[in-house]
Amino acid sequence: MDREVIVHTMPGCPACVQVKEFLSRNGIDFEERVVTQSRQYYTELVEDLGFTAVPVTLVDGTPVLGYDRARLAELLGL
């Protein structure tokens, strides 16, 4: 089943790297949105989603904060 996975990140964020590596290792396609490189992505993270820290991973619209491997696996059916 294809899922929409979006990861909000910023450079120098160790947990962001962990999330991306986890998704890649498990063959999960994702879109990375670097919040420091796009005003639109920053606004989406802070104003639309209400978060001020990264990573925030959206799995079919459900947010996962930080590197929560168990929650990601649950939402992705791994």
| More confident of the two residues 19 and 3 | 19
pLDDT given for residue 1 in this prediction: 60
**Average pLDDT estimate for 26-54:** 93
What are the two backbone dihedrals, phi and then psi, of residue 32, each rounded to the nearest 5 degrees? -95, 130
- CA 45, CA 10: separation in Å to the nearest integer? 12
Domain residue extents for the chain: 5-76
Position 9 pLDDT exceeds 90: yes
Domain 5-76, CATH among 3.40.630.10, 3.30.470.10, 3.40.30.10, 3.40.50.2300: 3.40.30.10
Sheet containing 62-65, strands listed edge to edge, beginning at the edge strand earlier in sequence:
31-34, 5-9, 56-59, 62-65
pTM for the structure as a whole = 0.92
**Paired tokens of 19:** 């999330």
